[in-house]
Amino acid sequence: MTIATERELDDDLFTRTKLFIGGTWVEPGGDNRLDIVNPATEKVIGSVPEASEADVDRAIEAAVDAFRNSPWRRLSYAERARYLERLAEEIEARADCVAQAYVYDFGGTIRSGQVMAAGAAALVRAHVGYVDRLSDDPERVTVGNLEALLVREPIGPVLGIVPWNTTFYVSVVKMAPALLTGCPIVIKVATESPLGSFVLAEAIEAAGIPEGQVSFLPGRREALGAITKRPEFNYISFTGSTAAGIEIMKDAAENVTALTLELGGKSGGIILDDLDPVEHAPLVFAGTMAQAGQICTTYSRLFVPKAKEAAWRRALADYYDGLVVGDPSDPATDVGPLVSASHRDKVERYIEIARSEGATVIAGGGRPTDLVQGYFVRPTLVADVTPDMRIVREEVFGPVITLQPYETEDDAIAMANDSEYGLAGGIFTLSEERAIPIALRLEAGNISVNLSSGSFQLPFGGYKKSGIGREGGFAGVEELLEWKQVQLKRTPPIDVPRDAARM
- Positions marked active-site: 262, 296
State how beta strands 380-383 and 360-363 pair: antiparallel
d(CA 270, CA 428): 6
DSSP for 153-165, please give it. Answer: EE---EEEEE-ST
Which residues share a beta bridge with 216?
Answer: 187
**Close Cβ partners of 488 (under 8 Å, ≥ 6 residues apart):** 147, 148, 149
d(CA 133, CA 180): 12
**Close Cβ partners of 79 (under 8 Å, ≥ 6 residues apart):** none
Distances from the Cα of 423 to the Cαs of 267, 409, 463, 469, 470, in angstroms? 7, 20, 6, 12, 11
Contact 58, 29 (CB under 8 A): yes
Q: In the 3-class helix/strand/coil scheme, how is 358-372 assigned residue by residue?
A: CCEEEECCCCCCCCC
Quick one: which of 136, 11, 16, 155 has its CA closest to 76? 136
> Strand locations in 233-363, DSSP E?
235-239, 258-262, 268-271, 301-305, 360-363
**Close Cβ partners of 151 (under 8 Å, ≥ 6 residues apart):** 138, 139, 483, 484, 485, 486
Contact 97, 12 (CB under 8 A): no
